[in-house]
Amino acid sequence: MSYFVDTEGYFGEFGGAYIPEMLYPNIDELRRSYLQIIESHDFCQEYTTLLRDYVGRPNPLYLAKRLSAAYGCKVYLKREDLNHTGAHKINNTVGQILVAKRLGKKRIIAETGAGQHGVATATVCALMGIECVVYMGQVDTERQAPNVARMQFLGATVVPVTSGSRTLKDAANEAMRDWIAHPGDTHYIIGSAVGPHPFPDMVARFQAVISQEIRAQLKEKTGSELPQYVLACVGGGSNAIGAFYHFIDQPQVKLVGIEAAGKGLTSGFSAATTALGRPGVLHGSRTLVMQTADGQIEEAHSISAGLDYPGIGPQHAHLFSSKRVQYVSVTDEQALKAALQLANLEGIIPALESAHALAYLGSLNASTEDNVVVCLSGRGDKDMAAYLEYARK
Ligand SMILES: *Cc1c(COP(=O)(O)O)cnc(C)c1O
């Protein structure tokens, strides 16, 4: 069985491109050209140079000694938080802007939840001198105000979306609508491993640099390229697929995706798609979706805007149904506690999203000799208001 995309754009029974006819030319152009572009010598050279000199890669794989002592195993943190703009999202936006340039696009649109993807997109648009419009749920513009300011300072137009739950899924709908209205000159930089084929596969290939580096760095530190566990939080699933990518075909490496249980799995306020979702179509692909009995998309809830999404990328849906990856969930409260713990033990303030992955360390039952890699997907500056409120309690 393959865990990767097939020639039809599917991962097992998930994936595909369920799109309005008006979008077909855009998607088809991308589908026909993406592999040729990203495998070309010229692209690889520009991409790897930018990752090194602009993003700051490779970022460290850090053995967190005090955290390791607390959990009785060797915990290595993959420091995506140290990338330019403070999260893994820039790996993808650098890749996609280079694709857009080669397709002759003059305008970029994006959706954003936490604002991290919006910032990463506004950043590469400034770098390349390309117009940038970012759709963001109005609720998210309020809870992530510093990122709205960053995008605007970088020259992007931020459009607050007031439909639906006014969060990420509504922003993604609005971006799709924009793309339909501007075929031809516009590229839509999707911010996670979601959307119609070829986006999930293309985003996974860009984020795969994470596991490529982990292998080399682990080899240097431990003599083996393979850890016992890799943990990553899952919103749409881009940092997780990047952290898993080069281990997927190594069955001895246990891969764990951590979703947001919000206020609790059965509370009605959660974003744990693998636990609560059923197959359906969301944002152009067949995947697992949180939905009502009659197929209406449910609203997701998480304290972390980046995980507040009622779907999951189709490759993750396949990795879940084929049981190659174990998916679990942790609550808002557990994530807050884990963030405070990392700050106190290691002097690192993680993003709330990343704190979900850290929070699962306590449930892992790893042994003292096990090497456990946690993808620290981003830094926590944007979450200080939530952290301070938690610390005051
Ligand atoms: C956006 C974001 C996530 C969630 O997105 P994925 O596509 O699931 O990785 C996780 N961590 C951080 C820091 C983010 O900004």
Of the CA atoms within 13 Å of residue 229, those in its CB half-sphere come to 27
Dihedral sign for Cα 319, 60, 114, 28, please: negative
Dihedral sign for Cα 76, 79, 81, 87, please: negative
Q: Could you report the per-residue pLDDT of 297-352, keeping only the tens digit for each?
A: 998 899 998 898 899 999 999 999 999 999 999 999 999 999 999 999 999 999 99
- Note whether 59 and 348 are within 8 A (CB): no
Distance separating alpha carbons of residues 17 and 291, to the nearest angstrom: 20
- The mean pLDDT value for 111-130 works out to 95
Predicted pLDDT at 308: 86
What is the percent of the chain where pLDDT is above 90? 91
Bond from prior residue into 198 cis (ω within 30 degrees of 0): yes
Predicted pLDDT at 167: 84
Q: Domains of the chain (ranges plus CATH)?
A: 18-50+89-203 (3.40.50.1100), 57-87+207-392 (3.40.50.1100)
Predicted pLDDT at 118: 96
Q: Could you report the per-residue pLDDT of 157-204, keeping only the tens digit for each?
A: 999 999 988 988 899 999 999 999 998 899 999 999 999 999 999 999
Predicted pLDDT at 306: 87
Predicted pLDDT at 299: 87
Q: Is the CB of 89 under 6 A from ligand 1?
A: yes
Whole-angstrom CA distances from 287 to 21, 310, 372 are 20, 11, 29
Known catalytic membership, residue 2:
no
What residues have CB less than 8 Å from 175, skipping those under 6 apart? 109, 110, 111, 135, 188
pTM, rounded to two decimals:
0.97
Known catalytic membership, residue 89:
yes
Known catalytic membership, residue 111:
yes
Distance separating alpha carbons of residues 183 and 173, to the nearest angstrom: 16
- The mean pLDDT value for 49-58 works out to 98
pLDDT exceeds 90 at position 143 = no
CA-closest residue to ligand 1 atom 14: 306
- Asked which of 75-79, 267-271, 324-328, 360-364 is least confident by mean pLDDT, the reply is 267-271
- Asked which of 52-56, 59-63, 83-87, 164-168 is least confident by mean pLDDT, the reply is 164-168
The number of beta carbons lying within 10 Å of the beta carbon of residue 44 is: 12
- The mean pLDDT value for 148-156 works out to 97
pLDDT exceeds 90 at position 56 = yes
Distance separating alpha carbons of residues 272 and 262, to the nearest angstrom: 8
Predicted pLDDT at 114: 82
Task: Give residue 17's pLDDT band: very low, low, confident or very high (50, 70, 90).
Answer: very high
Predicted pLDDT at 305: 84
The catalytic residue among 80, 111, 174, 346 is 111
Q: Could you report the per-residue pLDDT of 204-234, keeping only the tens digit for each?
A: 999 999 999 999 999 999 999 999 999 999 9
- Note whether 282 and 352 are within 8 A (CB): no
Q: Is the CB of 80 under 6 A from ligand 1?
A: no
Predicted pLDDT at 238: 98
Distance separating alpha carbons of residues 226 and 209, to the nearest angstrom: 15
- What b/e readout covers 221-233, taking b as 16+ CB neighbours within 10 angstroms? eeeebbbbbbbbb
Of the CA atoms within 13 Å of residue 299, those in its CB half-sphere come to 13
Consecutive H or E run containing 254? strand 254-262
Whole-angstrom CA distances from 281 to 13, 17, 285, 342 are 12, 10, 5, 37
- The mean pLDDT value for 13-20 works out to 97
Beta strand pairing call for 229-233 and 61-63 = unpaired
Distance separating alpha carbons of residues 347 and 252, to the nearest angstrom: 32
Beta strand pairing call for 10-11 and 14-15 = antiparallel
> CA torsion angle for 269, 266, 319, 219 (degrees, to 10)?
80
The catalytic residue among 78, 89, 105, 169 is 89
Q: Could you report the per-residue pLDDT of 233-253, keeping only the tens digit for each?
A: 999 999 999 999 999 999 999
Q: Is the CB of 116 under 6 A from ligand 1?
A: yes
Mutate to test the pocket of ligand 1, among 84, 245, 307, 319 (most ligand atoms within 8 A of CB): 307
- The mean pLDDT value for 51-65 works out to 98
Task: Give residue 113's pLDDT band: very low, low, confident or very high (50, 70, 90).
Answer: confident
Q: Is the CB of 196 under 6 A from ligand 1?
A: no
Distance separating alpha carbons of residues 124 and 97, to the nearest angstrom: 7
Predicted pLDDT at 393: 84
